[in-house]
Amino acid sequence: MFKKSLSLTFFTLFFSSCVSMAPNLELSNDDSIPKNFKNYQQIDEKSDISLDSFLIDENLKSIVNLALENNKDLRIALLRVEESKSLYRIEESNLYPKIDANGSFSRDKKEEIIKNNYKASVGTVFELDLFGKNRSLNDAAKNSFFATQYALNSTKLALISQTINSYLSLASNLENLNLQKEINKNLSSVYELTQKKFNAGVINKEDLLSSLAILKESENQIIVYENLVQIDINSLELLIGSNLNENLIPKNLKKDDSYLALLKSGINSDILLSRPDIKELEYKLRAKNANIGAARATFFPSISLTANTGFASSSLNNLFSNPNSFWQLSPSINIPIFNAGENSAKLDLSKTQKEIALNEYQKGIQTAFKEVNDALIVRKNIYTKLENQKELTTTVEDAYKIALNSYKIGYGSYLNMLIAQKAYINSQKALVQTYLEELENRVEIFKTLGGNID
């Protein structure tokens, strides 16, 4: 009896291994990906852009690790992966027979005769997947699961980039705050000097009021930067899901390569195919392609098999003896005849959804290529801009010192000193902003090339 049951199981498994009716999907990216990035040399091997090699500053590493451990958006994405995995396992279970063991007892009376009935059986209910419907649905669920995994990696990459940029923004605002406080000290000295000159009758009241107005404007700017610093801290605390340790807060913006590594000059354009958002679109496309196979299978008959084997007896003592054994095999077939075009509509829908997914995949690659080129265009000229800003700041600073000293000894006019002072303040802030742009560009290149996130 058990040999018969085992044979039935192998019989159903044999028919469950049919080939899917999904069309072959060949992804040719030659038309989607240009051979070379603009402004960068093309190389054959893949570049090392791992997170560990990209992050240099230890405090920044610690903050990024905290974000990866505690961020709520990342936890939600991780739970969605687990959800998708469960759905895939549910769909995969349909490829195999469902085997159940049953036992029952009944007692009835007929014509003063009381009769007991004992029954123990093993049964299976299974749809023979002759045309690959279940196989296609399983493939769709599997590819959807893979797409969700890459969506998690996309969330990780976005979180890492956002955390780094928030940290750099905090450092730059602290730098501007320190700079503004230093400027404010100089403005206070100038105001005191202007007040002395006014009291001595050397200058008019208009110059005195202008100097006071600039001082008050500077004091307000200090408040602005203090607010921005606190906002940046709040943003980081949201990203890391906890309070920010004071030891991890930067003192200022370091003007060297101690924060982030710079990508080497050669980049392989095929690296875009490994970007998590591109891989997500690829597996979404594969899932839609598999749905076509399931839709095609609905045009063909579906065959189900119900099989039972076991023992039945009026006595429990000899229930499992050979004469009391039984088996039952009940195949059934369902042939679609008329459904008002439902199956055709479902097939057309699945084909349209596949075409949408294909165009989204191709657009995703083209968008990724544009993002990389945009980042590389900025990278091409960023050092020239930075050097020009350094020279400009040095020149303006020298001019301001000359104008200030001339004003102190009574040779220079207050207007010339005021103009030089404004130019000096603006150039200092512009220099900090340029340093920030250079670092943010490194982050953008890391992000657009996929970040090698696992």
In a shared domain, residues 309 and 342: no
In a shared domain, residues 277 and 207: yes
In a shared domain, residues 244 and 307: no
In a shared domain, residues 254 and 229: yes
Q: What is the pLDDT along the chain (454 residues), one digit of tens a residue?
A: 444 444 544 444 444 455 667 778 777 665 555 656 665 544 444 555 688 889 999 999 999 999 999 998 888 988 888 988 888 888 777 777 777 888 777 777 676 677 778 777 787 777 777 777 778 888 888 899 999 999 999 999 999 999 999 999 999 999 999 999 999 998 898 899 889 988 988 888 888 898 899 999 999 999 999 999 999 999 999 999 999 999 999 999 988 888 998 876 566 677 788 889 999 999 999 999 888 888 888 777 877 778 777 666 655 566 666 666 767 777 777 778 877 888 888 888 888 988 999 899 989 988 988 898 888 888 888 989 999 999 999 999 999 999 988 888 878 888 888 889 889 999 999 999 999 999 999 999 999 988 877 6
Q: Where are the alpha helices (DSSP H) in 94-204?
A: 133-199
Rounded to 5 degrees, what are φ and ψ at 252?
-165, -170
Which residue, of 281, 310, 331, is where some domain finishes? 331
Does residue 142 sit within a domain? yes
Query: What pLDDT is recorded for position 123?
Result: 77
In a shared domain, residues 143 and 118: no
In a shared domain, residues 227 and 373: yes
Q: Give the domain CATH number at 432.
A: 1.20.1600.10
Which of 355, 297, 349, 292 has its CA nearest to residue 22?
292
In a shared domain, residues 273 and 179: yes
Q: Which residues contact 109 (CB under 8 A, 6 or more apart)?
A: 115
In a shared domain, residues 226 and 106: no
In a shared domain, residues 109 and 204: no
361 and 281 Cβ atoms separated by less than 8 Å: yes
Question: With left for phi above 0 and alpha for psi between -120 and 50, is residue 433 left, alpha or beta?
Answer: alpha
Query: What pLDDT is recorded for position 315?
Result: 58
Which of 188, 171, 175, 164 has its CA nearest to residue 66?
164
C-alpha pair distances (Å), 215 with each of 143, 197, 206, 337, 421? 63, 17, 14, 88, 12
Query: What pLDDT is recorded for position 5?
Result: 47
In a shared domain, residues 444 and 348: yes
Query: What pLDDT is recorded for position 322?
Result: 65
Query: What pLDDT is recorded for position 40?
Result: 54
Does residue 9 sit within a domain? no
In a shared domain, residues 306 and 444: no
Query: What pLDDT is recorded for position 25?
Result: 78
In a shared domain, residues 287 and 320: no
Q: Give the domain CATH number at 122.
A: 2.20.200.10
Which of 405, 404, 437 has its CA nearest to residue 423?
404
Total-model pTM: 0.82
Q: What is the DSSP string of 284-331?
A: HHHHHHHHHHHHHHTTS-EEEEEEEEEEEES-STTTTSGGGEEEEEEE
Q: How far apart are CA 363 and CA 352, in angstroms?
A: 16
Domain with 368 in it: 51-96+132-300+336-449
